[in-house]
């Protein structure tokens, strides 16, 4: 009997060793968390995302544009001026613009309608900074996107179709990697499990520490296309909103980690 237990112990140890080996493939979420901690210690508690969000807050509250108005009256779905948790409720249908809008396009709509700016006057880096500010007020909240309005349902279905669409000289489509090859690598990072892991859609907008970029989901989607030498859909365009709606609805119930901090 004693020998049996000793043998069992050895097997157990070997299994633990194997597990440790298998974990050499670091979980990207843990890796990013470690980097975040290191950066926090180095900087005395300030992250690059805090600076971007602070810049966004300034832009959000400043009176700007021909109408000399701030964005404080902008309705992100919970009524004018209510910003807590709104990122987890977007994209959604808005009656004033009669469109399904995501975070980026809603900010843009308010800059046009409240501040009177022309579309060509809207600077991308300002929209991103404002998105980071709003995101910082949704941290820890749940993702609750659920397409209920007919316009939302329609766009969700189109987003799903677009997700599985393959085209171009490289036969590419989102699902070819993010469904079929989840966890495998072609390059540095493993393909994220967009439809299975709710954390993936719940950390946008995010700061990418490896190359110092502040990205919203729109930037992420556009880079996916560009990396495969496909032309990217225009900023604020419907394909981006449709894909975001599909992915966010799939992440229903996920806890938002905002602004995201990723490799």
Partner 1 sequence: MRRFYLPALLLLLLGLAQGQTGTTYITPELQRLIQAGGQNYASVLLRQDPAQALCSTHRNRLPAEVLGPFIEEQRKNIKYPADGKLMGDWKQGEAIFNTLARGNCFSCHVGSPLNIGGNVGPSLEKYGQRGTSEAVQRYTYEVIYNTWAYFPCTVMYRFGVGGLLKPEEIAHVVAYLLDPNSDFNTKPALKR
Min dist. Cβ of residue 54 to partner 1 (A): 33
Min dist. Cβ of residue 43 to partner 1 (A): 31
Give the active site residues.
224
Token output for 173: 């489509």
Residue 223 in the binding site for partner 1 (CB under 8 A):
no
Min dist. Cβ of residue 232 to partner 1 (A): 7
* Region 103-122 residues binding partner 1, contact defined as CB under 8 A: none
Min dist. Cβ of residue 173 to partner 1 (A): 7
* Residues in CB range of 256: below 8 A, 6 or more apart: 87, 88, 135, 138, 139, 140, 141, 142, 143, 202, 203
Binding mask 240-259 for partner 1 (x = CB under 8 A): x-x-----------------
Residue 234 in the binding site for partner 1 (CB under 8 A):
yes
Say if CB 209 and CB 51 are below 8 A apart.
Answer: no
DSSP H or E run through 184:
none
Residue 233 in the binding site for partner 1 (CB under 8 A):
yes
DSSP 3-state of 67: coil
Query: Of 153, 238, 255, 263, which one interacts with partner 1 (CB under 8 A)?
Result: 238
> How far, in Å, CA of 71 to CA of 148, rounded?
27
Residue closer to partner 1 by CB (options 70, 176) is 176
Could you give the C-alpha distances from 131 to 42, 55, 82, 153, 196, in angstroms and in order?
Answer: 26, 10, 14, 25, 25
> How far, in Å, CA of 102 to CA of 91, rounded?
4
Query: Of 57, 153, 230, 252, which one interacts with partner 1 (CB under 8 A)?
Result: 230
- C-beta neighbour count of 200 within 10 angstroms: 23
* Residues in CB range of 102: below 8 A, 6 or more apart: 90, 91, 217, 218, 240, 241, 244, 245
Tell whether omega for the bond before 91 is within 30 degrees of 0, i.e. cis. yes
Binding mask 146-185 for partner 1 (x = CB under 8 A): --------xx--x--xx-xxxxxxxx-x-xxx-xxx--xx
Token output for 258: 């905002």
Q: How many positions of this chain bind partner 1 (CB under 8 A)? A: 37
Say if CB 244 and CB 102 are below 8 A apart.
Answer: yes
Residue 231 in the binding site for partner 1 (CB under 8 A):
yes
Residue closer to partner 1 by CB (options 1, 20) is 20
Residue closer to partner 1 by CB (options 207, 236) is 236
Min dist. Cβ of residue 228 to partner 1 (A): 9
Residue closer to partner 1 by CB (options 148, 186) is 186
Binding region for partner 1 (CB under 8 A): 154-155, 158, 161-162, 164-171, 173, 175-177, 179-181, 184-187, 191, 225, 229-234, 237-240, 242
């Amino acid at each position: 009997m004693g020998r049996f237990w000793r043998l069992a112990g050895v097997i157990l140890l070997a299994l633990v060793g194997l597990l440790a080996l298998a974990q050499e493939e670091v979980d990207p979420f843990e890796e990013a968390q470690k980097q975040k901690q290191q950066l926090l210690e180095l900087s005395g508690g300030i992250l690059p995302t805090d600076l971007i969000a602070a810049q966004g807050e300034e832009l959000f509250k400043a009176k700007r544009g021909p109408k000399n108005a701030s964005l404080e009256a902008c309705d992100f779905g919970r009524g004018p001026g209510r910003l807590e948790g709104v990122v987890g409720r977007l994209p959604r249908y808005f009656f004033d613009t009669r469109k399904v809008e995501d975070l980026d396009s809603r900010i843009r709509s308010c800059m046009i309608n409240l501040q009177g700016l022309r579309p060509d006057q809207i600077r991308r880096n300002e929209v991103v900074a404002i998105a980071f500010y709003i995101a910082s007020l949704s941290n820890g909240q749940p993702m609750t996107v659920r397409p209920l309005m007919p316009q939302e349902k329609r766009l969700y279905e189109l987003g799903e179709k677009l997700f599985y669409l393959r085209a171009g000289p490289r036969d590419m489509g989102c699902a070819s990697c993010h469904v079929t090859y989840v966890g495998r690598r072609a390059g540095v990072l493993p393909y994220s499990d967009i439809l299975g892991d709710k954390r993936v859609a719940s950390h946008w907008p995010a700061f990418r520490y490896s190359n110092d970029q502040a990205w919203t989901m729109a930037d992420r989607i556009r880079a996916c296309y560009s990396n495969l030498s496909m032309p990217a859909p225009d900023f604020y365009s419907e394909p981006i909103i449709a894909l975001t709606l599909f992915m966010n609805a799939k992440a229903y119930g996920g806890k938002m980690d905002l602004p995201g901090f990723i490799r």
